[in-house]
Amino acid sequence: MNEPNKPRFTPVILPADLDVKRGTGQAFQGSIPTDQQFREPRGEADDEIDLLQLFGVLWRGKWIIMLCSLLAMTLGGYYAFEVAVPKYSATARLALQARDQQVVDLESVMSGVSTEQAAINTELEVIRSRGLLERLATELNLVEDPEFNTSLRTSSPYSLGEVVKRFAAWLSITLPEDPPPSGEEIQNNVVDNLREALGVSSQRNTYLFDIRATTESPARSAEIANKLAAIYLDDQIRIKFEATEYAINWLSKRVTDLEVDLKKEEDAIKDLRADTELVSLEALEALNLRSKDVRERLAIAQANVVTSQMRAERMAALATTRDVDAILAEVEDSVLIGLANETKAGDLNANIRFFARFDELVEREASNTNRMVLQRNALQASNVVLLENLDAQNADLSQLNQLVREADATRVLYETFLTRLKETSVQIGLQQADSRILSRAIPSKLVEPRKSLILALSLVLGGMLGIGIVLLRQYLHDGIRTAEELELLTGQTIIGQIPKMPIRRRNSLVNYLKDKPTSAGAEAIRNLRTSVLLSNIDNPPKIIMSTSSIPGEGKTTQAIALTHNLSGLDKKVLLIEGDIRRRTLSQYIPQTPPGNLVSVLTGDQSLGEAIISDDRLNADVLMGAKSNVNAADLFSSDKFHDFVENVRNIYDFVIIDTPPVLVVPDARIIAHHCDAVIYSVNWDRTGKSVVTDGLRQFSSVGVKVTGLVLSQIEARRMKRYGYGGKYGSYAQYGRGYYDA
């Protein structure tokens, strides 16, 4: 096979920590990633949602989303057209009487419904009250309707209860029978179902009520709505009648009681007036004036008595002194004055007559004093009588006034209640409901199920379920689909992307590579060869190792293909089967080997005696063989070291196919004798943690991995995932460059 003049490189994304330029041989001389680099967070930008990437994920899962949507819509259609019970709605409209149209004003006894929102809401609850619904169920005999009385329904053979019964019968288990429901339980069940079938609402900014009934029959719905409206209006009138009758009974009793009380109070007034001497209020006023006059006279008489007594005492004292001048100074009497003058003239008889006259005046003064005392005492007695009489009259008047006031108050209440009683008696014949039926319910159209809405919601929910499944699959997916993803995960250089070889049997691989030298797989191996050889321009690698994390990642296929490609450069190439435990190389090269790697290392055979010279591969092959010696110990021996150095001198390139690094330690031991380590990762299958664990195994022993290869890429699936345009080697447009 002729090698092109200018090698073609596979697109490679370089790590950020390599200070190199693309296209140079130093692109693969980066440092070995540490354990921390495998788990290093990729920055805050990774926490942001990439809408294009999200759309790509959803687009790749479009068939799942469409399938879930169609399945959900099918289930929704089956429910809407086959399972769901059709229901019909009918609405009766009532108008609240906002104005009071009563003939007689009886605000304290009966009042219309308030038009406040709270009152309107209360009326809505009254319509849906249990009492009205019980009346409705009774009048329409809904107990005999299976739609409302669930005990009359026939159980579906697919219901949970019937399935349990059949299963129990199959197991010969006797289940306890449910006791039949009581009449009260049936009634409550009917009312509950009726309440669920009814809807009551008020129109915004109006006094209109809508009573809506939804049942399986359009006629039944209209009948229930109209009947409930009639029962509600009848209930309003009934409540008003009951309130009016209660008011009449209460007023009648109160009027009777007040009439009796008024009669008693009027009789008490008559008895009081008959028993008292009080004629009128004017007579009481005259008596009061008389008492005042007596009190004034009594005060004057008392003063006169005191004055008279004092003068009598002074005159009595002067009578003992016989002092004419003192007597004349006290008593102004013309007779005494004349007799005193005669006495001073020397008339002795005049002196005798003077004192005789003075004694007469003293007796007269004492008599006058006694008379005044008698008058005072008489006035005092009269005043006491008048005061007692006045007090008695005042007490009688107060009692009379109290009785009159009580009688007047009782009379006012009696007349008021009597008037209310007459008004209420008239009102009982004028009662009407606070609402009226504005429009009766008529059989209406189908309202349930809303088939178009169910189908639309089913489609949407199915799409959401599909999206959830796609996103969940993406979240749970642990495989690697792009070189960029692998590079970001490991921090290692991606030196190749190998498609899955289109062969059915492993022994067809060499023939495919030979017959299809320009196929996508052959070109990918050629790019891998170029990347490996240019990984160290100053000292190109000769001993090349192919390994992977776990079995089945294409490392053996890759080793054979790379051997075939290198031999095409007219180079002497040796392919060694380093996986002596599993030994799968014989499935690709079915020739019977004359010897094996173990016999060469033990010295039983020479290298020339043990190898196979494959004409199709155009290279030498050294097969592996099972050994009693542990493989790890065998590869750690000096014999293996000497063997590697020997073949290094004999061949231009030596390709060693090693076991997976996570299974046995052989690969880590062999890597110390190799110039380049190619690490294969199975596309979309190998888990991310598996890859990082495998690379960590090499890092732990100081082995530098030359580069990673994304192997066994399926072009058709890659395009389905939306990566075909980005990795053009396996995209649709690559057909013009590669053979099928």
Confidence tier at 721 by pLDDT (50, 70, 90): low
C-alpha closest to that of 213 among 629, 223, 617, 676: 223
235-238: long-range contacts (C-beta < 8 A, 24 or more apart)? 235/126, 235/132, 235/135, 236/433, 236/434, 236/435, 237/431, 237/432, 237/433
pLDDT at 701: 93
Of 19-23, 76-80, 326-330, 416-420, the poorest mean pLDDT is in 19-23
Average pLDDT over residues 624-638: 88
Q: How far apart are the first and last CA of the chain?
A: 18
pLDDT tens digits for range 515-550: 888 888 899 999 999 999 998 888 999 999 999 999
Q: Residue 328: what pLDDT?
A: 79
Residue of 330 and 195 predicted with greater confidence: 195
Please report where in the chains the tokens 């306890």 appear, as a residue: 176
> Average pLDDT in the 359-366 region?
84
Residue 710's pLDDT band, with cuts at 50, 70 and 90, is: very high
Residue 705 has pLDDT above 90, yes or no: yes
6-20, 77-91, 118-132, 370-384: range with lowest mean pLDDT: 6-20
Query: What's the sign of the alpha-carbon dihedral 30, 33, 39, 44?
Result: negative
- pLDDT tens digits, one per residue of 658-677: 999 999 999 999 999 999 99
- CB atoms < 10 A from the CB of 80, how many? 20
**Over 60: is that where the pLDDT of 4 sits?**
no
Residue 566 has a pLDDT of 94
Q: Is the pLDDT of residue 109 over 70?
A: no
Please give the DSSP secondary-structure letter assigned to residue 61.
Answer: T
Total residue length of the chain = 740
Three-class SS of residue 446? strand
Q: What's the CATH superfamily of 479-736? A: P-loop containing nucleotide triphosphate hydrolases (3.40.50.300)
* Sequential DSSP letters for 104-160: S--TTT--PPP-SHHHHHHHHHHHT-HHHHHHHHHHTTGGG-TTT-GGGSPPPTTSH
**Class of domain 82-246+437-448 as given by CATH:** alpha beta
Distance, C-alpha 461 to centroid of its chain? 22
pLDDT of residue 656: 96
